[in-house]
Chains A and B, each alone.
Chain A
């Protein structure tokens, strides 16, 4: 398994070289300045990508950190969208409260499903969420009095006190801010005692138990957090979107997010973020060829699992290192 000659090298995070830092700074500047030099469409795509970054963070928590499987990410995203849109309409409070509400509802539903599914084997979570995703899509499409059913729901503009958000460009700074907030949150959780417990449970259930970690509770919390982050992404969606239709909350969306995380690299926050951006752009292109979408997504999932299980960036990095070492 560890026959690589690099295996014995220390694996601490190497300091970023100056060029990379400069590149990052440039990218950050570009990201902030984006609305000033591009069209509304580009900003719209950027907003969407940022939402997908947060969705990927959510899936990363459950797959990458706790090593379990959730197949209902789109459903929690949907719960977040509907819950925050309805809260926004019902109560005259600044929009972040609606977002928080969306995240809490999604998180609560996640905790409930997780607590039930994880009573037996951890793989039951995958199966229960598989069925839950389908059931939720049905609920979105049929609970007419709340979701307006198959006609879709109009989302009222988000308000921040006197400011009402009416365009993608206006929404962009907020979307960017909440995305950074979600990244910060995920990083803090991952580095915390809870995050270490997540990884302990992923690596060895019995050892985690011997260290005093409640394995089942840790798994349920991980899943609940992941659902809450997905719900938060739903709230972000409501910042710039005016309409939600149940069709866009099906298994297809779960697979899209999963593919992003897989492309970026399972187990790494930065992989999840990079995957969302890289594959988000690719999927935008793939939209032109819908008949190939399923085959391509499926093939990517299979091929990455076979040859690049740690994602595109790790794969490329390894190839470069190999080339440098003259092999």
Chain B
């Protein structure tokens, strides 16, 4: 246990130090420290408005933090533009789905492989670049979308659309996969499949995964480590069992429920 902790502290794959994000006068996230170990599944949870998505968008470089440092694989990425993330092996999904709606599933995933599809002129000009197409087809199969490969993304049901997001992100060949509420709106059966897929990605592909998630069933089952945010600050961190027993976490969640009850009553 101690040895593991030390190794993680020595070389966290993704390290967030003193991350602060202000919108106008409002501090959405204040001084967050978080370390994600290589090859782990790390979850970021917390009540609504805790600053999870804001943190997530900072790490994927869609927002720029007011203060703090983000390092990935030993590299400072705090000021890099979002479009360079794919090249570095950081892939993300979107909470509210940002699919290429009018394009087919195949094309969606193929565009995910954009950074790998232009090795040679011939590949760049090809509609089916060598090496990449096979991988895209494999990813489509792995996410259970083979039957829909030629369907336009907008014509899929919600669960399949979420899978397209993940397949497209995987086409980047990421080392770090950032997932923004991948289970939101999914049915139990689909959550189970997602659970299996994410564990497989960690074990077989050695991926590091950071996810923001509300669905506790998934979080508690797959996460190696969980960071809990409330009102923009970290209130707890640890394994699923540790977090579940943490008084501050119970208070943050129960307090919220109590507040909701008061609002309804």
Asked whether A209 is an interface residue with its Cβ less than 8 Å from the other chain, the reply is yes
Q: A188-B125, A191-B127, A197-B114 are in contact. Are A210 and B100 (CB under 8 A)?
A: no
- CB of B172 within 8 A of CB of A207, answer no
Residues of B within 8 A of A12 (CB): 104, 150
Contacting residue for B102 out of A8, A203, A211, CB 8 A: A203
- CB of B127 within 8 A of CB of A192, answer yes
Residues 123-176 (chain A) with a chain B CB within 8 angstroms: none
- CB of B87 within 8 A of CB of A212, answer yes
- A1 and B125 alpha carbons, distance in the complex (Å): 33
Residue of A nearest to B150 (CB): A12
Q: A192-B124, A193-B124, A212-B115 are in contact. Are A203 and B150 (CB under 8 A)?
A: no
Interface window among B6-14, B77-85, B234-242: B77-85
Residues of A within 8 A of B91 (CB): 210
Residues of A within 8 A of B83 (CB): 209-210, 212-215
Q: A196-B107, A197-B111 are in contact. Are A8 and B155 (CB under 8 A)?
A: yes
- Smallest Cβ distance from B152 to chain A, in angstroms? 6
Q: Mark B118-162, 1 if CB is under 8 A from A, else 0.
A: 100001111101000000000000000000001110110000000
Asked whether B253 is an interface residue with its Cβ less than 8 Å from the other chain, the reply is no
Q: A10-B150, A192-B127, A203-B103 are in contact. Are A211 and B112 (CB under 8 A)?
A: yes
Residue of A nearest to B125 (CB): A192
Q: Count A-B pairs with CB separation below 8 Å.
A: 100
- CB of B151 within 8 A of CB of A203, answer no
- A200 and B113 alpha carbons, distance in the complex (Å): 12
- CB of A7 within 8 A of CB of B155, answer yes
Residue of A nearest to B98 (CB): A207
Residues of A within 8 A of B155 (CB): 2, 7-8, 11
Q: A192-B126, A211-B172 are in contact. Are A206 and B151 (CB under 8 A)?
A: no
- CB of B98 within 8 A of CB of A204, answer yes
- A252 and B46 alpha carbons, distance in the complex (Å): 58
- CB of B111 within 8 A of CB of A196, answer yes
Residues of B within 8 A of A286 (CB): none
Mind listing 19 A-B residue pairs with CB under 8 Å?
A: A8-B155, A11-B155, A192-B127, A193-B123, A196-B107, A196-B110, A197-B114, A199-B107, A200-B111, A203-B99, A203-B100, A203-B102, A204-B101, A206-B62, A206-B98, A210-B94, A211-B111, A215-B83, A267-B102
B residues engaging A (CB < 8 A)?
60, 62, 82-87, 91-92, 94, 98-104, 107, 110-112, 114-115, 117-118, 123-127, 129, 150-152, 154-155, 168-169, 172
List 15 other contacts, CB 8 Å, given A2-B155, A193-B129.
A11-B152, A12-B150, A193-B117, A197-B114, A199-B103, A203-B103, A209-B62, A209-B82, A210-B94, A211-B112, A211-B115, A211-B168, A212-B83, A212-B85, A214-B83
